[in-house]
Amino acid sequence: MSTTEKNIVLHVDDVHKTFGGLHALADIDLQIEEGKTHAIIGPNGAGKSTLLNVVVGRLSPTRGAVVFNGEVLTGKAPHQINQLGIARVFQTPEIFPDLSVLQNVMAPAFAKRDGSFKLNFLSSLERQTDIRDEAEHILHDVGLYERRNTHAGALSRGDKRRMELAMCLIQHPRLLLLDEPTAGMSRHDTNTTIALLQKIKERGMTKIIIEHDMHVVFSLADRISVLAGGRIIAEGEPEEVRSNPKVQEAYLGGAHL
């Protein structure tokens, strides 16, 4: 293998998605290289979350396929796709509000190891010291260790998002999908999250990140795809994309790029 050959982890191959008459996605071709952080940006309603939903199996494409490490994901259920090594932080956090922060972070590791997850297993789960130690370590990384015994439902929006990130990290995914991971966070917490995501990158985890905050995008992305009206209108390295007039026109009126 030549050193210039790229290892493509995820291939979105000619994906289309329509909702009734609405073309939410059209002609989407995307190749995500191993170990890279690939940002998907674009205005509200561009189709970014729809694209992630197709990748994780929550939506099936009207046409096309998604291939992960050579395996076709299209047609598989979300939990099967998750078991193959894809984890996701949703735009709206999905957590167990009545459980503690620590229990929330332990749950996915338990589910991964035992193949299923039952809430009444939680008391024995608390005694699983290996999982608990790792969950505590990850909570420390995301800055939530002090809040580990708080009910998850009582966390702020930004803290829920960090907890959800911890719930992903404990699964050691090969591909991590982040839908607006810093939405609702203060500037300080945003910068802490950027630093954490940079640290994850050093460990070689491949990431797709959807983000409106250009500070986050340009701090993290190796490559950027720009979605507008359900199509990819530009793709390239951050500086190429930043200076692309088509992008400036379609995205934020050019004001923030």
Q: Which positions ≥6 away from 254 have C-beta within 8 Å?
A: 248
Whole-angstrom Cα distance, residue 174 to residue 81? 11
In the bound state with Mg ion, the residue whose beta carbon lies nearer, of 168 and 170, is: 168
* 185 contact, one of ligand ATP, Mg ion, none, CB 5-8 Å limit per kind: none
Binding mask 83-122 for Mg ion (x = CB under 5 A): --------x-------------------------------
E strand map for the chain: 8-19, 22-33, 37-41, 63-68, 71-72, 86-89, 175-179, 206-210, 223-228, 231-236
> What are the C-alpha distances in Å from 129 to residues 10, 93, 123?
34, 26, 12
Name the minimum Å distance from CB 19 to ligand ATP: 3
DSSP 254: G
Per partner kind, with CB cut-offs from 5 to 8 A, the member of Mg ion, ligand ATP, none near residue 45 is ligand ATP
Q: Could you give the CA distance from residue 223 to residue 233 in angstroms, rounded to a whole number?
A: 14
The dihedral of CA 244, 12, 46, 224: what is its sign?
Answer: negative
- In the bound complex, what is the minimum distance in angstroms from residue 132's beta carbon to Mg ion? 34
Using CB under 6 A, which of 37, 50, 103, 104 touches ligand ATP? 50
Interface residue with ligand ATP, options 46, 106, 170, 241 (CB under 6 A): 46
The vertex-182 CA angle with 118 and 8, nearest 5°, equals 75
Pick the piece of the chain touching Mg ion (CB under 5 A) from 17-25, 49-57, 93-101, 106-114. 49-57
Q: Which of residues 163-222 bind ligand ATP (CB under 6 A)?
A: none
For ligand ATP, the binding residue among 13, 16, 45, 172 (CB under 6 A) is 45
Residue 38 vs 48, nearer CB to Mg ion: 48
The answer to whether residue 49 forms part of the interface with Mg ion (CB under 5 A) is yes
Residue list 11-40, contact with ligand ATP (CB under 6 A): 19, 22, 24
Nearer of residues 94 and 146 to ligand ATP, judged by Cβ: 94
Number of residues counted as binding ligand ATP (CB under 6 A): 12
Residue 180 or residue 235: which is nearer to Mg ion going by CB? 180
Q: Exposed/middle/buried for 164, CB within 10 Å: 0-12, 13-18, 19+?
A: buried
How far is it, in rounded angstroms, from Cα 145 to Cα 143?
A: 6
Please answer whether residues 108 and 171 qualify as being in contact, where contact means their C-beta atoms are separated by less than 8 angstroms: yes
Q: Of the candidates 247, 243, 227, which has an alpha carbon nearest to the alpha carbon of residue 50?
A: 227
Q: Exactly one of 37, 49, 206, 244 binds ligand ATP (CB under 6 A); which one?
A: 49
Q: 59: which 2 tokens?
A: 């939506």
Q: Please give the residue ranges that form the binding site for Mg ion (CB under 5 A).
A: 48-49, 91
Q: Please give the residue ranges that form the binding site for ligand ATP (CB under 6 A).
A: 19, 22, 24, 42, 44-50, 91
